[in-house]
């Protein structure tokens, strides 16, 4: 693409085109294409290719080597002060790595990273670049987050340096001068490269700033944490551009009206994805929730239409309450809503119950919610959804102390689920005494050792008899 040819870049996904479209052909977002005038603006940082050696001169030394000869360094990890964050990162922050922390504005990204900066600064040098808030504002927050008000001056924070700056060039200069072990950029969308004409936060700015920071950070082995806001459409600005560039993408999410926050790894070159960290926003910053199962159990005591399941997020089992409300419909087609679970899964489970148990659910509205605002995507929740729906339909309170885990096939069969042993251990730890699981789990000895009564079921009717303690189809 020539320098003088105007082109358009999507502000959501970074796709480029010479033609203007009202809807991005790459990601489908509307009105996201913006004219860019200078596509090759980051060329100024590109080095010219070395000149070929003149005839007879010694050839340039080659830099490739056999893979066996490549030296291996043990992977050190820096502790962030939050074991939950360390676990999501794969065991701590890897020096020289580039991590993107995304989330809605106001969810607590700055709080999380400033608290981590505090802890990291006790062991290494940290530069916190605030591009959105003034140094005064960050200081106020830092005080609020301290273990004791006015605890500054104890000397333990000597390693934490603060820079309130939005100009990329100045940030790079300071990074080069300080060579910190960790640098936090809050946020990448607020930084701006004066050599690009586009506005801060646009795809070209975000890409250019992140790439320039990455080059410097890799050279001096600085671990970089970039804060990225999620755009209106629910995507990290320039995700296609940044996600491939960074080593890990963490998302920080939660219900603004509830105090808990969930941290997930959606990409991680140094650890597993789908790990989950749970935090709670308090008056003095974020606190870890070490026993999240308690958070996702409704806590309202026995109640018709509530079923407990053991969900698994990464390697972490979580007990979660599902709550269903089934009531006679006054609409031509019944209303179905699902919060925290895919609506199509709910439709399918209702169809299975209608077909295989003969329940006339098409004459009933059905509302389903996962307690605590968690998203449960795995099929292991199916049996719990079915139990909650039937319990509400029949106005039954499910027997206390029972959990269920199992997928539901369209033929009404109960499907096996992964990590069942881990799930049973968590259920037993929290005082549950019975578990309804797919037939052939082979876990009878494990359950016996845990003191759990194991009810194995092959079909939906059988599973529900076990889960409800009553015949679901009886009237």
Residues in the site for Mg ion, rule: CB under 5 A? 110
Q: Which residue has the tokens 């139990």?
A: 387
Decide whether 109 or 240 has the Cβ nearer to Mg ion. Answer: 109
Residue closer to ligand TYD by CB (options 105, 299) is: 105
The DSSP output letter for 373 is: G
Nearer to Mg ion, 11 or 110 (CB): 110
- Residue 291: asked if its preceding bond is cis (omega within 30°), the reply is no
Cβ nearer to Mg ion, comparing 130 with 268: 130
Q: Which pairing describes strands 364-370 and 316-328: parallel, antiparallel, or unpaired?
A: antiparallel
Full DSSP string of 289-328: -S-HHHHHS--S-S-TTEEEEEEEETTEEEEEEEEEEEEE
Asked if 254 interacts with ligand TYD (CB under 6 A), we say: no
Q: How many CA atoms are closer than 13 Å to the CA of 415, on its beta-carbon side?
A: 13
Token pair 């100045």: residue: 170
Interacting stretch for ligand TYD, rule CB under 6 A, among 63-71, 106-114, 218-226, 367-375?
106-114
The stretch near ligand TYD (CB under 6 A) out of 34-42, 104-112, 120-128, 449-457 is 104-112
- Give me the least distance between CB of 107 and Mg ion, in Å please: 9
The dihedral region occupied by 83, where left means phi > 0, alpha psi between -120 and 50, and beta the remainder, is alpha
CB of 101 to ligand TYD, least distance (A): 9
> Cβ neighbours of residue 421 under 8 Å, at least 6 residues apart?
443, 446
| Torsion angle in degrees (nearest 10) through CA of 337, 340, 345, 348 | -40
Among 103, 159, 292, 405, binds ligand TYD (CB under 6 A): 103
Rounded to a whole number of angstroms, the minimum distance from the CB of residue 103 to ligand TYD is: 5
Radius of gyration of the chain (CA): 27
For Mg ion, the closer of residues 110 and 419 by Cβ is 110
Only one residue has tokens 């049973």, namely 424
Rank residues 189 and 204 by Cβ distance to ligand TYD and give the closer one: 189
Among 14, 108, 384, 472, binds ligand TYD (CB under 6 A): 108
Residue 80 or residue 110: which is nearer to Mg ion going by CB? 110
Q: Per rule CB under 6 A, is residue 373 in the interface with ligand TYD? A: no
Q: Name the minimum Å distance from CB 108 to ligand TYD.
A: 4
Q: Which residues of 176-214 are buried (b: 16+ CB within 10 A; e: fewer)?
A: eebebbbbbbbbbbbbbbeebebebbbbbbbbbbbebbb
107 touches ligand TYD (CB under 6 A): yes
What is the full DSSP assignment across 388-411?
HHHHHHTT-PPPTTEEE--EE-TT
Please identify, using beta-carbon distances, which residue of 288 and 377 lies nearer to ligand TYD: 288
Footprint (CB under 6 A) of ligand TYD, residues 258-317: 281, 283-285
Minimum distance of Mg ion from residue 104's CB (angstroms): 11
H helical segments located in 76-202:
83-89, 109-120, 135-145, 168-178
For Mg ion, the closer of residues 103 and 372 by Cβ is 103
Cis peptide bond N-terminal to 13, omega within 30: no
Strands across the sheet containing 7-10: 16-17, 7-10, 33-36
With 0-12 / 13-18 / 19 or more C-beta atoms within 10 angstroms meaning exposed / middle / buried, residue 131 is buried
Residues 133-192 that bind ligand TYD (CB under 6 A): 141, 144-145
Q: What minimum distance in Å lies between the beta carbon of 145 and ligand TYD?
A: 6
Out of 28, 105, 302, 458, the residue judged to bind ligand TYD by CB under 6 A:
105
Q: Is 25 in the site for ligand TYD (CB under 6 A)?
A: no
Distance of CA 83 to the CA centre of its chain: 16
Q: How far is the CB of 186 from Mg ion (least distance, A)?
A: 6
Closest distance between ligand TYD and the C-beta of residue 146, in Å?
10
**Shortest separation between residue 37's beta carbon and Mg ion, angstroms:** 30
State yes or no: residue 361 binds ligand TYD (CB under 6 A): no
Please identify, using beta-carbon distances, which residue of 109 and 316 lies nearer to ligand TYD: 109
By CB under 6 A, how many residues form the interface with ligand TYD? 15
Interface residues with ligand TYD (CB under 6 A) are 103, 105-111, 141, 144-145, 281, 283-285
């Amino acid at each position: 693409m020539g320098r003088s040819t105007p082109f358009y870049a999507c502000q959501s996904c970074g796709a480029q085109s010479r033609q203007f479209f009202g809807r991005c052909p790459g990601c489908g977002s509307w009105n996201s294409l913006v004219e860019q005038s200078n596509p090759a603006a980051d060329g100024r940082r590109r080095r010219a290719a070395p000149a070929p050696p003149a005839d007879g001169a010694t050839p340039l030394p080659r830099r490739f080597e056999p893979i066996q000869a490549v030296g291996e360094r043990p992977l050190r990890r820096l502790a962030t002060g939050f074991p939950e964050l360390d676990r999501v990162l794969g065991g701590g922050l890897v020096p020289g790595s580039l991590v993107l922390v995304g989330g809605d504005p106001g969810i607590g990204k700055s709080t999380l990273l400033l608290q981590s900066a505090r802890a990291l600064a006790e062991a290494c040098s940290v530069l916190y670049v605030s591009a959105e808030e003034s140094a005064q504002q960050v200081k106020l927050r830092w005080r609020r987050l301290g273990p004791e008000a006015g605890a500054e001056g104890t000397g333990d924070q000597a390693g934490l340096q603060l820079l309130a700056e939005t100009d990329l060039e100045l940030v790079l200069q300071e990074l080069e001068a300080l060579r910190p072990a960790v640098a936090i950029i809050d946020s990448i969308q607020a930084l701006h490269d004066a050599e690009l004409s586009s506005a801060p936060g646009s795809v070209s700015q975000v890409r250019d700033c992140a790439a320039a920071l990455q080059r410097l950070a890799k050279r001096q082995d600085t671990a970089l944490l970039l804060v990225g806001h999620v755009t209106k459409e629910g995507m990290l600005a320039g995700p296609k551009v940044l996600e491939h560039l960074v080593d890990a993408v963490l998302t920080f999410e939660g219900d603004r009206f509830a105090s808990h926050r969930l941290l997930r790894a959606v990409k991680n070159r140094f650890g597993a994805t789908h790990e989950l960290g749970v935090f709670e926003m308090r008056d003095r910053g974020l606190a870890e929730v070490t026993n999240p199962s308690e958070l996702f159990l409704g806590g309202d005591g026995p109640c018709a239409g509530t079923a407990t399941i053991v969900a698994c997020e990464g390697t972490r089992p979580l007990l979660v309450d599902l709550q269903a409300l089934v009531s006679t419909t006054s609409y031509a087609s019944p209303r179905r809503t699902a919060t925290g679970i895919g609506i199509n899964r709910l439709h399918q489970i209702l169809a299975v119950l209608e077909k295989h148990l003969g329940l006339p659910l098409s004459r009933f509205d059905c509302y389903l919610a996962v307690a605590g605002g968690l998203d449960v995507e795995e099929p292991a929740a199916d049996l719990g959804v079915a139990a909650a729906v039937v319990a509400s339909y029949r106005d039954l309170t499910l027997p206390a102390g029972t959990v269920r885990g199992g997928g539901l096939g369209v033929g009404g069969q109960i499907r096996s689920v992964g990590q069942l042993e881990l799930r049973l251990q968590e259920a037993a730890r929290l005082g549950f005494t019975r578990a309804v699981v797919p037939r052939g789990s082979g876990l009878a000895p494990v359950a016996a050792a845990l003191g759990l009564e194991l009810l194995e079921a092959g079909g939906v009717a059988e599973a529900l008899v076990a889960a409800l303690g009553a015949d679901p189809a009886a009237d």
